[in-house]
Amino acid sequence: MGSHALEQLLQEFYRGSKMAAARIISLVERNDPAGREILKQLYSKSGQGYIIGITGPAGSGKSTLTDSLVKLLRQQNRRVGVVAVDPTSPFTGGALLGDRVRMGELSLDSEVFIRSMGTRGNLGGLSWAARDALVVLDAFGCDYLFVETVGAGQSQVDVARVADTVIMVDVPGLGDDIQAAKAGIMEIGDIFVVNKADRGDADKLVRYLQSTLELGQQNDDEWQPPVLKTIAWQGTGVEDVLKGIMAHRRHLEQSGLIVSRRKQRLKEEVILQVERLVQMRLSEGFQSEEVLSRVYCRELDPWTAAKTMINSLSGKKCEARNP
């Protein structure tokens, strides 16, 4: 993509074109160098939106809950972005992204942007593209950003890495113990939602969650994660979830935790970027045979070898780009 076309795309983006925003996300998603370039330019405009992660097992009604929450935020005239991530098939590379089915009416709202994404290469986790898409939508002026993933261990933890508030959704009847407890990641949830609460054993699940949470209280954070019941398709209980989000946000802001959390998140992200770059540079410039031979002959120890490599890297110009 030429610099002129790139500039034009940015102009349209700043004018509020959804098509432009969508195309930028596509560029980023397919690792196009132009995408990274644009992202760098957009970056200064991001950081205003509040990010909410929604995670839970398949069939727990995450999209429906998101749909209802977005509708409430629209009543408050907020601009909202949604990134819905579904798994990519490791065999074919294809993906079926069906979250829009439950958010059909929102498509037409000029102040709502919904994007479905496959995890692509990122097995089970949240892809870089999803984080980048959040940056794009943040810079697009979205006040609230939702990122929704199917809960499967790693992706839930990843959601916690990007979101200010993490909502873990569960439904009665999926099993005796809940998914998050099984995976040992209850502590990443800021709000717990028991959806489809009209089902018989909803209260049992609520009690189970509450007692598990009490056992696990060891955070320095004083936030007590609430356990809320919803029937998302009817909108029942969804206002309480939104209130919970707002309360958590106030808590983060008043305690200053929002700054330290976001900094921590950025630190992790920058370190990750460093690792990627180093890996990339090494795979490009690593004279493996020669160095390995020397280590093999015990002319060199692995620690010195590594240090030499790093030193040799720091001299080179490090161009930020995707592997």
- The residues binding another protein (CB under 8 A) are 18-19, 22-23, 25-26, 30, 59, 64, 88-89, 92-98, 100-102, 104-105, 107-108, 113-116, 118, 120, 173, 196, 199, 233-234
- Say if residues 173 and 201 touch (Cβ distance below 8 Å): yes
Residue 29 or 190 with smaller CB distance to another protein: 29
Q: Amino acid identity, residue 178?
A: I
Residue 124 or 278 with smaller CB distance to another protein: 124
Q: For residue 145, give the 3-state DSSP assignment.
A: strand
Residue 114 or 213 with smaller CB distance to another protein: 114
Residue 95 or 300 with smaller CB distance to another protein: 95
User: Could you tell me the smallest distance in angstroms from the CB atom of residue 206 to another protein?
Assistant: 19
* Six-digit token string for 62: 């995450």
Residue 93 or 175 with smaller CB distance to another protein: 93
User: Could you tell me the smallest distance in angstroms from the CB atom of residue 267 to another protein?
Assistant: 31
User: Could you tell me the smallest distance in angstroms from the CB atom of residue 199 to another protein?
Assistant: 8
Residue 57 or 125 with smaller CB distance to another protein: 57
- The owner of tokens 């189970």 is 208
Please give the Cα distance from 177 to 1 (Å, whole number): 51
Please give the Cα distance from 49 to 139 (Å, whole number): 8
User: Could you tell me the smallest distance in angstroms from the CB atom of residue 108 to another protein?
Assistant: 5
Distant-in-sequence, close-in-space partners of 52: CB < 8 Å, separation ≥ 6: 69, 144, 145, 146, 147, 163, 164, 165, 166, 167, 245
User: Could you tell me the smallest distance in angstroms from the CB atom of residue 258 to another protein?
Assistant: 28
Residue 122 or 165 with smaller CB distance to another protein: 122
User: Could you tell me the smallest distance in angstroms from the CB atom of residue 277 to another protein?
Assistant: 24
Residue 115 or 131 with smaller CB distance to another protein: 115
User: Could you tell me the smallest distance in angstroms from the CB atom of residue 24 to another protein?
Assistant: 9
Please name which of 69, 50, 45 lies closest in space to residue 258, comparing C-alpha atoms: 50
Residue 133 or 168 with smaller CB distance to another protein: 133
Q: Long-range CB contacts (< 8 A, 24+ apart) of 33-39?
A: 33/321, 34/1, 34/6, 35/132, 36/320, 36/321, 36/322, 37/6, 38/6, 38/9, 38/10, 39/132, 39/135, 39/136
Please name which of 164, 106, 154 lies closest in space to residue 134, comparing C-alpha atoms: 164
- Say if residues 166 and 62 touch (Cβ distance below 8 Å): no
Ramachandran quadrant class, 116 (left: phi over 0; alpha: psi -120 to 50; beta: rest): beta
Please name which of 296, 291, 321 lies closest in space to residue 308, comparing C-alpha atoms: 291
Q: Amino acid identity, residue 85?
A: V
User: Could you tell me the smallest distance in angstroms from the CB atom of residue 295 to another protein?
Assistant: 38
- How far from chain centre, in Å, is Cα 207? 29
User: Could you tell me the smallest distance in angstroms from the CB atom of residue 94 to another protein?
Assistant: 4
